[in-house]
Amino acid sequence: MEGFCIAANLFGAKGEASSAAGQMGGIPVLILKEGTRRSRGKDAQSMNITAAKAVADAVRTTLGPKGMDKMLVDSMGDVVITGDGATILKEMDIEHPAAKMMVEVAKTQDEEVGDGTTTAVILAGELLSKAEELFDMGVHPTVIVKGYRLAEDRSKEILESLAKSVSPEQEDILLNIASTAIKGKEDRLPKAKLAQIAVNAIKAVADISDGRKADIKEIKIEKIEGGGIEDSELVRGVVLDKERASINMPKKIDDALILLLNKAIEIKKTETKSKIDIATPEQMMSFLNQEEKLLEGMVHQIEKSGANVVFCQKGIADIASDYLAKSNILAVKNVSEKDMEKLSRAADAKILAELETVSDSDIGKACIVEEKKIVDKKFIFVRDCSNPKSVSVLLHGGTKHVVESMEITLNDALRVVSAVIEDGKYVAGGGSPEIEVSLWLREYAASLTGREQLAVYKFPEAIDIIAKTLAENAGLDSLDILIELRSQHEKGNRDAGIDVYTGNVVNMADMGIIEPLRVKLQAINSATEAASMILRIDDVIAAGKEKLPGTPPG
């Protein structure tokens, strides 16, 4: 690590490790740079655990549909108001290394499944809190980590046994999963509509012919500040932040035949400098006519292909644009490589580098390609492709904050629907699976021997924090709720969870409160991994801050 200098194996006469300022023949041996701060043993562990727990406490009140929001103000005075755990931790300016590890937990959870970020962070914080209790009992960190690993493995087995199967055709279940993931978002957002858009978008791009794959990268999101939020829509095709190459081209093409070109429709400039001597006006006209003929030839090849819409990754000369307009062809220039690939997937068209050998199979199809002005911006819509493997979502909102909130909400819904289509498994929500895992883990712990048993016993105590927090955030008595939950689960109601709106313990699956199995598995995995890493640290060496050079005189 830059900033300090450590002698890795410095031992005294009896083989004991030297400290930061060891002794050698009565002379101090400095092995760390001046200004370096070092914490060891219990001090280091306590400091790291305290920092990690502080992060967990920061997001704990946001858990669940009744969770609170946080207002974050950056150094420039910009304000973000959100209840999304991943967004909160991303926006927070965190310095402590152990606290940063907790932020990584949220980041991993969000990237992998798009939901359960707050759950993972809260659980990691509670596992560390229970580890402190084990420290006081004299249990070594290595033993705690081993016990937590055993409990993690058993928890995953229990969750797998609780999971129910779902197929992409069961749209009602997919809608419930999407709705559950975004239930706690801002009330003003059209959550029912966003859930439906997410399900339709994922089903469009999902490939279930060879295994299950639903890549959300094939879903393009365009945000527009203007219009009502209810105007948001799914486009079975691609929306481009572009306009026609010429205003003389048609604005709308029905039954579009689409040609994708990775070739400029203009005269290529030579790499080397060249000089042409033109002595007469006739020679000048001949030169210009030759250039025009070349461009006319390119347009003729496009006409010959049968295409009436052209998307070009490179430039289109003005003369070529005029010829295309006369031929009633709509063309768009300077389309990004990423958008070209999406067009290819949506319209089933090939991206061509040459015009000489265009075949019918190279041409894509869409019902409509049109240019539309929305608010004060022009967009190109490629609509109603027959079997699009890339689609677009157009989000409308009155302000930047609204459209950004909608994007975060939609992304969460897309990820959970993608996860459940790929895995085909879901579990009940509302704290239900955590209580079931907690009960089974207690039985498992009783079957173990050795000190690891103590750590396994603490794991279900930590998992109870999820149901407890859901109850607290809804203004309910968490102790009464936990007692009722355990009673219901012991009677065999494995899907019993908390209805935070009524305060009752009900069957979550019957209520449609369900979540992808992957969310729960990843949350337990991320939380255990983070807690284990922090518990295994017994020495923190922080380099002193570099002094900035002084201002030169004068």
Is residue 312 within 8 Å of residue 335, measured between CB atoms? yes
Structure tokens at 351: 């991206």
Active centre residues (catalytic): 84, 117-118, 412
- Coil, helix or strand at residue 69: coil
Structure tokens at 59: 């997001």
- How many whole angstroms separate alpha carbon 11 and alpha carbon 22? 9
Tokens 């033109």 belong to 278
Which spans in 163-308 are helix H? 171-182, 191-205, 281-305
- How many whole angstroms separate alpha carbon 180 and alpha carbon 508? 11
End-to-end CA distance of the chain: 37
- How many whole angstroms separate alpha carbon 321 and alpha carbon 336? 19
Over its C-alpha atoms, the chain yields an Rg (Å, rounded) of 31
> DSSP per residue over 199-217, as a string?
HHHHHHH-B-SSS-B--GG
For residue 483, how many other CB atoms are within 10 A of its CB?
A: 12
Q: E strands within 274-363?
A: 309-312, 330-332, 351-352
Contacts of 408 (CB under 8 A, 6+ apart): 82, 84, 87, 185
Contacts of 360 (CB under 8 A, 6+ apart): 306
